[in-house]
Chains A and B, each alone.
Chain A
Amino acid sequence: MSTITIIPGAERQLRNHTSAAQTLRNSLAMAYRGLLKIKRTPEQLMDVTLQPILFTLMFTVLFGGAVAGDTTSYLPLLIPGILVQTVITTSVVTGTQLREDMDKGVFDRFKSLPIARIAPLAGALLADTVRYAIATTLTFGMGYVLGFRPEAGIGAVVLAGLLVIVCSWAISWIFAFLGVIARSASSVQGISMIVLFPLTFLSNAFVPVDTLPGWLQGFVNVNPVSHLVSAVRDLVNDGVFGLDMVTSLVGAAVIVAVFAPLTVRAYMRKA
């Protein structure tokens, strides 16, 4: 320390304003931190690795015969459904981890640093897209192993994967909001599951809609998850960019438009 000369506080040129470039830099640094944490605690990836493999296998074998006659003809219906369900479920972690982080001492240090206030939040949301990518890849991979051969080819599969990642990222804002306002990580987990189960299961993800009672069909048809599942099916099975895709993207945009300001406001009050 003897070699370091401290520049006196009064002689420094400082600004009380954070530029957009700095905000981006800080957010990327926080995303890098998120990735490092994933690397250091690979057990955190259990949900995005085991769930796609296990669920795809279980659902195919369990429902394949009953729903579609045999497992192979169930796959084009199931894989898009399970993909959407898995990746959306993964986005809950954004909320729980954000809550855990905010309760820790390290968050106090972030608050005392001259960084963009939004960076820890933006970084977390950014790093989690990697988790979605892993879950997406594994689900398609498992589908392939079970005999799923998408009609529309690899390009459509990649596009469908991106669509699911974008939509899940949008939905993760809901869970980030819960994470910011909730008292504990376990309560975030609890509330999120209550939101999530009806959304993912009361959809067309696993069964054809016309097998459902009329009153339920009404809900299933407006459920944004159904539209996303249909969009993925259209894309990978027929190579079609349908109306469902537009609906999904608009839905995602609406979620971000509503929850991003809410989350940021609640977050800034605490940051």
Chain B
Amino acid sequence: MDTTNDWAIEAHDLVKTFGTHRAVDGVDLQVKTGTVYGVLGPNGAGKTTTISMLATLLRPDGGQARIFGHDVVAEAQVVRQLIGVTAQFASVDEKLSATENLVIFSRLLGLGRQESRRKAGELLEEFGLAEAARRPLAKFSGGMRRRLDLAASLIAQPPLIFLDEPTTGLDPRTRTQMWETIRRLIASGSTVLLTTQMLDEADQLASRIAVIDRGKVVAEGTPDELKATVGSSSLQLRVQDPADLPTSLGIIQRVLGIAGTISPEAARITAPMTGVDRVTDLLLELRAAGIALTEMSVQKPTLDEVFLGITGHSAEPTNPANDTAPTRINA
């Protein structure tokens, strides 16, 4: 068997079409064994569809993908023995208890009756669900459901785990717990592919990130490389009079040495920056030029800024107005 140790995932030119819509339009991904890989993108970018193809749930319309050297179409059943999937929507049985769910999945994976019970108990303990083991899932919180879902993906101790937006919809405290769980998972030697809409999450967990937009990978690199394209923080300015926008952009360029972009909803300038303290100089210059501001803030770059920085359009998926280059000024 021709297998490579280096790559957990090798996807080349993956395509999936739904009707006339190309949900995934030529995605390339290479994930090294033993690493955490983040796929970052807005809703509808094609993240879930990509995972579904890699996890053998959907058949690709074009391109190939291999998991540890095994083709996802030709050797689907082998691939399924190597992966664990935690989908975006909890894929557990609502009507059964946590224990029953895990026992059934264990039995399906070939564990005996006693072994299944033991495994279920172990995992529930591990994920802090032991007390809720016998409760029906209808009474579970969102975070508990996600943890159970993740536990179910780990029964067979798969070397590759797909996590589709593991923290979407969770409150900040539960999100931190989930991150903790994912970190321990990584420490055990698993390869993880996770999708997220939050740059911060990808930054916290992943060693490499692919930014995906409209079914295509638009940027790929380490979190540091990506952040370098958007700066470590982002300056947001709103001017009172839109006519001042060109002058303001000129001043930003001169003082900070970077090019700002005007966001689609106009009148707001976004600029990546490296040194926060230089904002003072900028504000002084703006006042000297007689430009009145309605709003000024310095923020961590969001997914939207990454998108603006990389693709030149905002992260909202369906607005056709985004197609026009936001840097063009019709003053």
User: In the assembly, what is the distance between CA of A10 and CA of B36, in Å?
Assistant: 18
| 27 A-B residue pairings within 8 Å (CB atoms) | A1-B187, A2-B184, A2-B188, A5-B188, A5-B189, A6-B157, A6-B159, A6-B189, A8-B189, A9-B3, A9-B33, A10-B68, A15-B78, A16-B74, A25-B110, A40-B97, A40-B136, A104-B93, A105-B90, A105-B92, A108-B85, A112-B56, A112-B84, A112-B85, A113-B80, A114-B156, A115-B109
B241 contacts the other chain (CB 8 A): no
Contact between A26 and B108, CB atoms less than 8 A apart? yes
Q: In this complex, which of A30, A105, A110 has the most chain B Cβ atoms within 10 angstroms of its Cβ?
A: A105
B-contacting 9-mer, from A31-39, A61-69, A162-170: A31-39
B17 contacts the other chain (CB 8 A): no
For B93, what are the chain A residues with a Cβ–Cβ distance below 8 Å? 33, 37, 104, 106
Residue from the list B3, B76, B104, B108 in contact with A36, Cβ < 8 A = B104
B91 contacts the other chain (CB 8 A): yes
Minimum CB–CB distance from A13 to chain B (whole Å) comes to 9
Residue from the list B76, B85, B95 in contact with A40, Cβ < 8 A = B95
For B187, what are the chain A residues with a Cβ–Cβ distance below 8 Å? 1-2
Interface residues of A in 82-99 (CB under 8 A from B): none
* 15 other A-B residue contacts (CB within 8 Å) besides A29-B107, A37-B95, A105-B90: A4-B157, A4-B188, A6-B190, A7-B159, A10-B3, A10-B5, A15-B78, A22-B110, A40-B96, A105-B87, A105-B89, A108-B87, A109-B85, A109-B92, A114-B77
For A4, what are the chain B residues with a Cβ–Cβ distance below 8 Å? 157, 188
A265 contacts the other chain (CB 8 A): no
Q: Which residue of A lies closest to B88 (CB)?
A: A105
For B5, what are the chain A residues with a Cβ–Cβ distance below 8 Å? 8, 10
Minimum CB–CB distance from B58 to chain A (whole Å) comes to 10
Contact between B157 and A7, CB atoms less than 8 A apart? yes
User: In the assembly, what is the distance between CA of A30 and CA of B108, in Å?
Assistant: 8
Q: A36-B104, A105-B91, A112-B55 are in contact. Are A8 and B159 (CB under 8 A)?
A: yes
For B56, what are the chain A residues with a Cβ–Cβ distance below 8 Å? 111-112
Interface size class of B (residues with CB under 8 A): 35 or more
Q: Which residue of B lies closest to A18 (CB)?
A: B77
Minimum CB–CB distance from B96 to chain A (whole Å) comes to 6
Contact between A33 and B104, CB atoms less than 8 A apart? yes
Contact between A109 and B159, CB atoms less than 8 A apart? no
Minimum CB–CB distance from B87 to chain A (whole Å) comes to 5
Minimum CB–CB distance from B160 to chain A (whole Å) comes to 6
**A interface residues, tally (CB under 8 Å):** 39
B100 contacts the other chain (CB 8 A): yes
For A5, what are the chain B residues with a Cβ–Cβ distance below 8 Å? 188-189
Residue from the list A1, A16, A108, A111 in contact with B188, Cβ < 8 A = A1
> What total of A-B pairs shows CB separation below 8 Å?
124
Contact between A113 and B105, CB atoms less than 8 A apart? yes
A41 contacts the other chain (CB 8 A): yes
User: In the assembly, what is the distance between CA of A4 and CA of B187, in Å?
Assistant: 10
Contact between B160 and A9, CB atoms less than 8 A apart? yes
Contact between B77 and A106, CB atoms less than 8 A apart? no
B81 contacts the other chain (CB 8 A): yes
Q: Which residue of B lies closest to A14 (CB)?
A: B78
Minimum CB–CB distance from B28 to chain A (whole Å) comes to 20
Contact between A6 and B188, CB atoms less than 8 A apart? yes
Q: Which residue of A lies closest to B155 (CB)?
A: A113
For A109, what are the chain B residues with a Cβ–Cβ distance below 8 Å? 85, 87, 91-92, 105, 152
For B100, what are the chain A residues with a Cβ–Cβ distance below 8 Å? 36, 40
Q: A9-B159, A109-B92 are in contact. Are A1 and B57 (CB under 8 A)?
A: no
A119 contacts the other chain (CB 8 A): yes
User: In the assembly, what is the distance between CA of A25 and CA of B159, in Å?
Assistant: 24
For A26, what are the chain B residues with a Cβ–Cβ distance below 8 Å? 108
For B136, what are the chain A residues with a Cβ–Cβ distance below 8 Å? 40
For A119, what are the chain B residues with a Cβ–Cβ distance below 8 Å? 108
Minimum CB–CB distance from A46 to chain B (whole Å) comes to 15
Contact between B107 and A16, CB atoms less than 8 A apart? no
For B33, what are the chain A residues with a Cβ–Cβ distance below 8 Å? 8-10
